[in-house]
């Protein structure tokens, strides 16, 4: 693959992960989508790596430079309150795309490195363990990572994971170390 400035170590980690999963007998399907700057299609800011592992969807967003996509997405410099509004609207839209009712929408993001992170989405029936994967993308990664960074600034703690839970139009966040 032609590497448009993306950290080679991240690709090595992903390749090892896939080799290990394959060796253990897991079903894998991997797809890629280049994320270009909206004003310059030749300026690749990130790559979404869509990983379908045993019918569970995981999106690894690999950036060229940490935070470089904030400005093109219009979230650079937003306050915590405004980021929450953006996230709530994004979750509302994703919820509508699932075409499932009486479900909670859960999206988690955990950074893999300063320039990449793993995002997972799923719909879950309230008070049940029944889940169905929902495809998420770089936008979810960037907004949740920006929120995580704001929390680190305000709380001074190194949050390693953020979860957004959308229930009946309400949005709650959970941060983990």
Average pLDDT (83-93) is 94
Considering Cα of 96, then 101, then 102, then 103, what sign does the dihedral take? negative
Residue 2 placed within a domain: no
Q: Strand 103-113 and strand 116-125: pairing?
A: antiparallel
Residue 79 placed within a domain: yes
pLDDT at 65: 86
Q: Are 52 and 29 in contact (CB under 8 A)?
A: yes
User: 121 pLDDT exceeds 60?
Assistant: yes
Residue 1 placed within a domain: no
Q: Are 60 and 136 in contact (CB under 8 A)?
A: no
Give 90's pLDDT tier (boundaries 50, 70, 90).
very high
Give 96's pLDDT tier (boundaries 50, 70, 90).
confident
Residue 15 placed within a domain: yes
Residue 146 placed within a domain: yes
Q: What angle do CA 118, 134, 166 make, to 5 degrees?
A: 90
Count of the separate structural domains present in the chain: 1
Give 42's pLDDT tier (boundaries 50, 70, 90).
confident
Residue 3 placed within a domain: no
Residue 147 placed within a domain: yes
């Amino acid at each position: 693959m032609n590497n448009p400035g993306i950290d080679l170590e991240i690709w090595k980690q992903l390749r090892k992960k896939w080799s290990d999963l394959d060796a253990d007998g897991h079903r894998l399907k991997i797809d890629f989508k280049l994320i270009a700057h909206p004003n310059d299609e030749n300026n690749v800011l990130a790559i979404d790596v869509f990983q379908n592992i045993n019918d569970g969807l995981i999106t690894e967003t690999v950036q060229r430079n940490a935070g470089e996509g904030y400005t093109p997405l219009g979230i650079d410099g937003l306050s915590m309150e405004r980021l929450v509004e953006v996230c709530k609207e994004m979750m509302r839209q994703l919820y509508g795309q699932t075409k499932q009712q009486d479900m909670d929408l859960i999206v988690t993001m955990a950074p893999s490195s300063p320039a990449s992170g793993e995002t997972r989405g799923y719909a879950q029936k309230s008070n049940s363990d029944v889940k169905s994967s929902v495809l998420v993308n770089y936008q979810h990664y960037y907004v949740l990572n920006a929120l995580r960074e704001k929390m680190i600034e305000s709380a001074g703690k190194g949050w390693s994971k953020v979860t957004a839970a959308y229930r009946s139009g309400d949005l709650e966040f959970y941060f983990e170390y």
